[in-house]
Amino acid sequence: MVSNPERRAALVDAGVEVLAREGARGLTFRAVDTEAGVPVGTASNYFTGRDDLLRQIDAWLHQRLAPDPEVVADLLTRPKDRALVTAFMHDLMGRATRDRTGYLALLEMRLEATRRPELLASYTRSVRGDLEEGMEFHRSAGLPGGDETVVVLYLAMLGLILEHLTLPDVLNGVLPAVDVPDALVERIVATVVPEN
């Protein structure tokens, strides 16, 4: 295997683009090479196979889509109440909207994991790790609600992100005078997170 970290990163990013645009079936080394603008055969020099590429895409997406530490630090200066949880959920929604490709690739990873037991195991570990990290963050930050609150927020926000990124017109106009997705983020938090 060739060791050029910059080239590997460019190939993984190209893999994210292909995965989001064409789905897992379109994720071939040739497609990644084409997307990255490198000679055919380059990706096969960097990854042992498709599973290796998918694992590296998974790892990269969890870094790429993570909250900005400066934004988190700034938000944590606020009172630890429902309004702060709302601000964190708006940040999450904003990141999903700004990096639609990254989130669509994550959704494709979920679908592919249902078909590939080896990917299912590793992807489950990474998503479970993110959820557990979110619960720990919630506890250590002193935010209202416990682990169950975080799990329900996770599920509700995942559904909203899925709908907003894939079929945005489903929710538009269904609830009159409700701004999608911003007002829905606020309603989710108001419903799930207890007041202090």
Of 13, 45, 61, the position where a domain reaches its end is 61
One domain, residues 53 and 70: no
What is the distance between the alpha carbons of residues 2 and 41, in angstroms, rounded to a whole number? 12
One domain, residues 53 and 96: no
pLDDT > 80? residue 177 = no
Domain of residue 45, residue span: 5-61
Q: How much of the chain is in helix, strand and coil states, percent to nearest 5? A: 75, 0, 25
What is the distance between the alpha carbons of residues 95 and 117, in angstroms, rounded to a whole number? 29
**Per residue in 111-167, pLDDT tens?**
999 998 888 998 999 999 999 999 999 999 999 999 999 999 999 999 999 999 999
* Residue 168: pLDDT band with limits 50, 70, 90: confident
One domain, residues 119 and 164: yes
One domain, residues 107 and 164: yes
One domain, residues 38 and 57: yes
* Residue 2: pLDDT band with limits 50, 70, 90: low
CA–CA distances in Å: residue 35 to residues 28, 45, 161: 11, 16, 26
In the block, residue with structure tokens 């790429």: 64
Q: What is the pLDDT of residue 142?
A: 97
**Per residue in 82-113, pLDDT tens?**
999 999 999 999 999 999 999 999 999 999 99
**Per residue in 38-81, pLDDT tens?**
999 999 999 999 989 999 999 999 899 999 999 999 999 999 99
One domain, residues 76 and 34: no
pLDDT > 80? residue 176 = no
Q: What is the pLDDT of residue 138?
A: 97
Q: What is the 3-state secondary structure (H, E, C) of 42-109?
A: HHHHHCCCHHHHHHHHHHHHHHHCCCCHHHHHHHCCCCCCHHHHHHHHHHHHHHHHHCHHHHHHHHHH
Q: What is the pLDDT of residue 175?
A: 78
Question: Which two three-digit tokens encode residue 93?
Answer: 């929604």
One domain, residues 50 and 94: no
Q: Number of helices (H) and strands (E), helices first, in the chain?
A: 10, 0
**CATH number reported for the structural domain that contains residue 18 in this entry:** 1.10.10.60
Q: What is the pLDDT of residue 169?
A: 87
The reported pTM is 0.91
**Spatial CA neighbour of 62 closest among 139, 115, 128, 121:** 128
What is the distance between the alpha carbons of residues 196 and 193, in angstroms, rounded to a whole number? 9
What is the distance between the alpha carbons of residues 46 and 3, in angstroms, rounded to a whole number? 7
**CATH number reported for the structural domain that contains residue 125 in this entry:** 1.10.357.10
One domain, residues 14 and 81: no
